[in-house]
Amino acid sequence: MGSLDKSSGSEVVTIDVVEAKHLIQSGYVYIDVRTVEEYKKGHVEAEKILVIPYMFNTPEGRVKNPEFLKEVSAFCKEEDPLVVGCQSGVRSLYATADLLKLGFKNVSNMGGGYLAWTGKGFGVKTEEPAVLEDKPKEL
């Protein structure tokens, strides 16, 4: 018999991008858990969108953002309706599970992530890289 890990208290609900789009349009907050670099290349078109990376890219590879749950809690209440998405649906699955463990009650994982969203031809936005050129070069 396979052992079921019930420590999360709630099962992660994964929805497809069509349902995710309806929820986002109905007022759900979309949390993009990709890196800021990924977000700037293109992201889901949503009225309420937060970019809170679940993992960071480092020279040693990807590492989990230790402040992820604290950052989400700073912007969202446990009752807020949330849709969590990433590039392909893996990071968002882990992020959704972590949020449920923390006590968030209305969190859905967007299956397939941004790739599935763009695959359906849904609205996307990109951040203008020109804005970055306005900043002084010496940092």
Residues annotated catalytic, as ranges: 86
Tell me, rounded to whole angstroms, the distance of Cα 91 from its chain centroid.
Answer: 8
Task: Compute the distance between CA of residue 70 and CA of residue 50 in angstroms, rounded to an integer.
Answer: 13
The contacts of residue 79 (CB under 8 Å, 6+ apart) are 105, 106
Cβ atoms of residues 44 and 97 within 8 Å: no
Q: What is the DSSP letter of 37?
A: H
Task: Compute the distance between CA of residue 71 and CA of residue 16 in angstroms, rounded to an integer.
Answer: 25
